[in-house]
């Protein structure tokens, strides 16, 4: 399957061309597709992977459990608040043609057995524009979800506000957003799914307010439409501008999900957010699991000699050293990566998301350095930018809202010292994390797995406990920098490392950390299983310990932990 061409414009009308009652034509590659096949393919062109716009009833059928959907508020009908000429006639014609009562269908359903509230906008109804009925049905559905403590999933597809309803249409933006604010304040989950196209007043209200925002590939997502922008600036927009991939890169979308996988991802996310008491809801099937090193690693550890300080500096910097991604994929099940700071950009130096620790949902955040030159460039060598810290903070606040513990993995030589990073407030971003993490109303555990470089490391390390791998380092700056500042001679870095006290054992003595994690010689691929086992077992002990405390106690202990220095 190829990818469809951005430049070949596929309008809504063309997308729905029916050549015969049994088939449709792909607007991009012109392939004729039988309707039965289109249905089986979930309305994705088998030839060029073009995503057809999906009718509300088809979307609901594709997402929720069979026969579980119950429509709500279907009886609310369109009025003509501005007495706009011919509006009633247009609505009647559209109703007749689409067999829809308005642009949005809302109701309740189950998704893999979990009850949800769902709303789907259908682009066939006046381009999914948001008039009073669309706003009202969504608002009522969200209010009912708040009352019944249910998660909400909204599928967005809209040209924006409905012109024929003027200012009344504009007010729907404020109204729907207000209802979602109440839903959010009640600690409930809202997922928005952006489909082609999501623009105008819908983007500038409920579409962008999801706790988690998913998008279908290559959907047009933006506030001002491309035509309006092109006319205003008098320039042609670059390829891919305002598409899902562009929004992901700019930090506004958590993940792009293929249509085929959407039901699965939504069901997992809903399940991860089922409210449970405490932080140690481990699946009983893991009760008797031993978290032990392999025999081979025990032998290797017995043979290996402890490293000197400078050797540790080098070990912490090794390219083949295990990184956050390795541990995350080994320790946690069903990890879903969530992207973006929702302000500016997604920082590839920091990854974050939600996964299960033997059945307990946790928010996991980690710095990745990369392992090949190309990979390192992509991750900016593990030097986070302000948007990385802001993404981390967004995910931590999300964890707080849903009472999920936070686990962070730190491995950075420091925050990125660059022009853009300064322009975007590197100092502010680090400070904000220290400030917010101090009061975060959920347990935080930090594991230093390599370099712990200064403020850039600390910005992810205000934990209730901080652990360090045996050969990891943690310092105010690099030994090279230290030697250069103090002795005006960066070549004396080995000597600097000795006096700076930067090893895990130093940290334990200085009470900067609670635990030292064995590396069984070296944190390499061979040791991954053994180190992960150690971490996993201890993480569970940590959460059981946290479970015994009130949230005020947890926050106060974190305060005291840092207050003592």
Residues that bind Zn ion (CB under 5 A): 26, 28-29, 31, 45, 47-48, 50
Residues 257, 214: Cα–Cα separation, whole Å? 7
Question: How many C-beta atoms lie closer than 10 Å to residue 279's C-beta?
Answer: 25
Measured from the CB atom, the residue of 27 and 160 that comes closer to Zn ion is 27
Q: Identify which of residues 5 and 148 has a Cβ nearer to Zn ion in the complex.
A: 5
Smallest distance, Zn ion to C-beta of residue 3, A: 10
Q: Shortest approach of Zn ion to residue 265 CB, angstroms?
A: 24
Residue 13 or 305 having the CB closest to Zn ion: 13
What is the dihedral sign for C-alpha 382, 331, 468, 561? positive
Least separation in angstroms between CB 199 and Zn ion: 23
Of the candidates 295, 272, 433, which has an alpha carbon nearest to the alpha carbon of residue 357? 272
In degrees and rounded to multiples of 5, residue 208 shows phi and psi of: -95, 10
248, 339 Cβ separation under 8 angstroms: yes
Tell me the closest approach of the beta carbon of residue 237 to Zn ion, in angstroms.
Answer: 23
Q: What's the N-to-C CA distance of the chain in angstroms?
A: 59
Nearer to Zn ion, 195 or 408 (CB): 195
Q: Select 26 or 188, whichever has its Cβ closest to Zn ion.
A: 26
Least CB distance to Zn ion at residue 17 (A):
12
Which residue number, 50 or 416, has a Cβ lying nearer to Zn ion?
A: 50
| Beta carbons within 8 Å of 98's beta carbon, 6+ residues apart | 122, 124, 125
Output 52 or 409, the one with its CB closest to Zn ion. Answer: 52
DSSP letter string, 37-51: HHHHTTSB-TTT--B
DSSP H or E segment with residue 93: helix 87-98
Q: Which is nearer to Zn ion, 44 or 502 (CB)?
A: 44
CA–CA separation, 59 and 63 (whole Å)? 6
DSSP string, 248-312: HHTT--SEE--HHHHHHHHHHHHHHT---SSS----GGGTT------HHHHHHHHHPPPPPHHHH
Quick one: which of 515, 439, 7 has its CA closest to 236? Answer: 7
Q: Closest separation between CB of residue 36 and Zn ion, Å?
A: 17
Please give the backbone phi and psi of residue 35, each rounded to the nearest 5 degrees, phi first. Answer: -60, -35
With beta carbons less than 8 A apart as the criterion, state whether 337 and 325 touch.
Answer: no
Please state the closest distance from residue 47 (CB atom) to Zn ion, in A.
4
Q: How far is the CB of 238 from Zn ion (least distance, A)?
A: 23
Q: Which is nearer to Zn ion, 41 or 82 (CB)?
A: 41
**Closest distance of CB 28 from Zn ion, Å:** 5
């Amino acid at each position: 399957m190829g990818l469809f061409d951005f430049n070949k414009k596929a309008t809504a009308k063309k997308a729905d061309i029916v050549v015969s009652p049994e088939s449709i034509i792909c607007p991009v590659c012109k392939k004729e597709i039988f309707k039965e096949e289109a249905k089986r393919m979930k309305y994705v062109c088998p030839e060029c992977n073009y995503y057809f716009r999906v009718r509300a009833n088809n979307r609901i059928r594709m997402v929720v459990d069979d026969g579980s959907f119950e429509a709500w508020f279907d009886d609310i009908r369109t009025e003509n608040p501005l007495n706009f000429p011919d509006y009633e006639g247009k609505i009647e014609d559209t109703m007749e043609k689409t067999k829809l009562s308005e642009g949005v269908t809302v109701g309740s359903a189950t998704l893999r057995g979990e009850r949800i509230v769902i709303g789907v906008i259908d682009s066939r109804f006046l381009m999914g524009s948001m008039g009073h009925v669309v706003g009202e049905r969504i608002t009522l559905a969200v209010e009912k979800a708040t009352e019944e403590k249910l998660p909400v999933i909204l599928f967005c597809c809209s040209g924006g506000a409905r012109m024929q309803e003027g200012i009344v249409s504009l007010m729907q933006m404020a109204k729907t957003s207000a209802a979602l604010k109440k839903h959010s304040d009640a600690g409930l989950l809202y997922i928005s799914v952006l489909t082609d196209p999501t623009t105008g007043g819908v983007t500038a209200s409920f579409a962008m307010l999801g706790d988690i925002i998913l998008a279908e590939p290559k959907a047009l997502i933006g506030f001002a439409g491309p035509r309006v922008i092109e006319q205003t600036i008098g320039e042609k927009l670059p390829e891919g501008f305002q598409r899902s991939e562009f929004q992901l890169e700019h930090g506004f979308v958590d993940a792009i999900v293929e249509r085929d996988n959407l039901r699965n991802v939504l069901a997992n996310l809903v399940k991860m957010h089922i409210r449970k008491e405490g932080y140690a809801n481990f699946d009983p099937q893991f009760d008797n699991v031993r978290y032990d090193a392999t025999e081979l690693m025990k032998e290797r550890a017995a043979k290996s000699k402890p490293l000197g300080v400078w050797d540790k500096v080098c070990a912490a910097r090794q390219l083949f050293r295990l990184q956050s991604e390795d541990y995350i994929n080994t320790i946690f099940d069903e990890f879903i990566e969530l992207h973006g700071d929702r302000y500016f950009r997604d920082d590839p130096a920091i990854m974050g998301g939600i996964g299960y620790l033997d059945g307990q949902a946790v928010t996991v955040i980690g710095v990745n350095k990369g392992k090949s030159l190309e990979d390192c460039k992509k991750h900016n060598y593990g030097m986070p930018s302000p948007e990385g810290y802001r993404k981390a903070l967004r995910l931590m606040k999300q964890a707080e809202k849903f009472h999920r513990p936070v686990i962070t993995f730190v491995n950075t030589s420091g925050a990125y010292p660059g022009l853009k990073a300064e322009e975007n407030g590197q100092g502010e971003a680090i400070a904000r994390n220290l400030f917010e993490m101090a009061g975060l109303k959920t347990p935080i555990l930090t594991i230093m797995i390599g370099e712990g470089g200064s403020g850039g490391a600390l910005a992810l390390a205000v934990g209730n406990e901080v652990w360090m791998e045996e050969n990891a380092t943690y310092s105010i700056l690099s030994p090279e920098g230290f030697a250069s500042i103090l002795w005006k001679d960066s070549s004396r870095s080995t000597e600097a490392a000795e006096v700076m006290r930067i090893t895990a054992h130093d940290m334990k003595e200085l009470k900067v950390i609670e635990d030292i994690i064995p590396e069984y010689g070296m944190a390499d691929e061979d040791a991954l299983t053994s180190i992960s086992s150690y971490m996993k077992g201890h993480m569970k002990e940590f959460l059981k310990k946290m479970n015994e405390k009130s949230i005020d106690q947890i926050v106060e202990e974190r305060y005291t932990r840092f207050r003592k220095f």
